[in-house]
Structure formats: C-alpha cells, structure tokens
C-alpha cells in the first residue's frame, strides 16, 4: 500500500498518470476519495498524486494540535519521500489554505498554483459556521445526521431538490470505509480557525488560478475575489456550482484546471 512517513505521521497517497507532477489535496473532513471525478481526467496529462491530509482518510490522526503551516510541512515531506522537487499544487477549501502556506514557505517547489473554493483566511461568517460544525461534531448526533446537517453548505439547490441525487450523495459520505474520527475533524477545524495569510499573499510568486462556485455559501465567492486582489497576477474563474462544484460539475472544473496548466481542451 502507498504509505510514507511524513514528519510525525504516516501519510496515505495514490498516484496515476505520468508527466509533470500535479498534487491534489482535499479540505476539512475530506479525503482523497473526493477526487474520484477529477484525478482520472487530469492523469491523462500529468503524474497526479492525491493524498490524505493528517487526520483524514488513511493518514495518521494524532490527537494533538494541527496547524496549516504544519500540514504544509507534511506536503513538503511527502514530496521529499517521492523524490519530487517541484510540482503543480491544487488545494481545495482547507486544502487551499495548505496550498497558500506551501507556496509562501516553499516557493521554489511550486510550479503552478490552483486554489479551489477557498479563502485567504476565515472571516466572521466562516468562524460561525466552523464553530457550529465543531459543536455538532462534539454532540451525540449520528454520522448520518451530521452529514445531512452539512449538505446545504456543500451542494447546489438543484442537487438538494433532486431526491435521488441527494440521497446518493448522503449515502456515499455515510458509507465511506475510512470515516474521520471526531477528534481529527475538530483538530483540522481548529487549524482552519487559526489560519490567515492575508498580509502575506503578495509574496506568492507562482502563476495562480483561483476557482470558485458562484453558488458557494460555505466559502462565498467574495473570498476568491479577495484572493485574486491579493495574489499578484492571479486569474479568477467563477463556475457553476456550490462548494463542491468540482464534484457536481466535474467536466467544467477539470477543463478550467487543464486549460490553466496548458492543456488544450476540446470545446
């Protein structure tokens, strides 16, 4: 199995394709299975590496404080273990925080940077949402109840209105064979609450694409607009979808990513 030591944990990762390396990592509570509709399309053109952040999926989940800076160091250690000096980096949501921190801390290791459904840091609105999610995680609600309570923040109204698609999405999450432990979700959420790169983003040198879903209410598009103003020369693209637009509309998101990375996409 593809496990490697990264600092104080063991990290699970998967690879597909060949060519220039492209590393993808998920957000709060997510694991690499979330890239099921993305990685295969990108792997036709790149060496795609997906991995589970600390506290998620099959990676280690120590019950001690996590930080975004520490998770950026985890990524550096993973690249070292895979003998990769430089890569294209794609972070989703909390993963976008990790990607920003990585680009700031290890600028020579980033080719192109893609920030998906993310922000420069948590605003007041985000703090209320994440704080409530922590409280729910500490409650006696079942896993299914927790998943259902978060769904309106993740999907479009169109998906929520489609009972069959909605139930399929819920059951896919509930039946995850590698469910996140409660303490690990809380540790990740606390790392999210402690991150703010706003004052440092002018130092990012990598070519950067920022992608947001126009109906995202978890990390609203205003956050991506702010990123676009703060990161020199960055490109902003607003697509259909909510926070999980890359899962609801994979073809559109995959095409935007590939075009930014220099791959000609058929119309």
Q: Is the pLDDT of residue 242 over 90?
A: yes
Contact 176, 52 (CB under 8 A): no
Residue 24 belongs to domain spanning? 3-260
Burial call 248-264: b when 16+ CB within 10 Å, e when fewer: bbbebbbbbbbebbeee
Q: Structurally, how many domains does the chain consist of?
A: 1
Domain membership of residue 35 (yes or no) is yes
Domain membership of residue 33 (yes or no) is yes
Domain membership of residue 266 (yes or no) is no
Domain membership of residue 154 (yes or no) is yes
Radius of gyration of the CA atoms of the chain, in A: 17
Mean pLDDT of the region 250-255: 97
**Helices of type H across the chain:** 39-42, 68-81, 94-105, 124-137, 143-154, 157-161, 163-174, 182-193, 221-230, 245-248, 250-260
Domain membership of residue 265 (yes or no) is no
- Tens of pLDDT, residues 60-112: 999 999 999 999 999 999 999 999 999 999 999 999 999 999 999 999 999 99
**pTM of the entire structure?**
0.98
CATH number of the domain that 97 lies in?
3.40.50.1820
- Tens of pLDDT, residues 204-227: 999 999 999 999 999 999 999 999
Domain membership of residue 206 (yes or no) is yes
Domain membership of residue 267 (yes or no) is no
- Tens of pLDDT, residues 98-113: 999 999 999 999 999 9
């Amino acid at each position: 199995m593809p496990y490697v030591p990264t600092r104080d944990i063991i990290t699970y990762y998967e690879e597909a394709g060949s060519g220039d390396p492209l590393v993808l990592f998920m957000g709060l509570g997510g694991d690499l299975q979330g890239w099921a509709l993305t990685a295969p399309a990108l792997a036709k053109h790149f060496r795609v590496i997906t991995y589970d952040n600390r506290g998620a999926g099959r990676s280690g989940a120590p019950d001690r404080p996590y930080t975004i800076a520490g998770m950026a160091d985890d990524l550096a250690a993973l690249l070292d273990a895979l003998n990769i000096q430089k890569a294209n980096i794609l972070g989703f949501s909390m993963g976008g925080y990790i990607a920003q921190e990585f680009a700031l801390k290890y600028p020579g290791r980033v080719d192109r940077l893609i920030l998906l459904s993310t922000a420069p840091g948590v605003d007041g609105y985000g703090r209320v949402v994440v704080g409530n999610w922590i409280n729910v995680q500490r409650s006696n609600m079942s896993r299914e109840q927790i998943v259902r309570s978060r769904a309106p923040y993740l999907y479009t109204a169109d998906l929520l209105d489609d009972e069959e698609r909605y139930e399929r999405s819920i059951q896919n999450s509930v039946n995850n064979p590698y469910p996140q432990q409660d303490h690990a979700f809380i540790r990740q959420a606390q790392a999210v609450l402690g991150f703010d790169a706003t004052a440092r983003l002018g130092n990012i040198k990598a070519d950067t694409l920022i992608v947001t879903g126009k109906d995202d209410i978890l990390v609203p598009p205003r956050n991506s607009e702010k990123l676009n103003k703060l990161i020199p020369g960055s490109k902003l693209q607003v697509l259909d979808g909510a926070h999980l637009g890359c899962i609801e509309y994979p073809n559109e998101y995959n095409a935007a990513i590939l075009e930014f990375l220099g791959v000609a996409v058929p119309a």
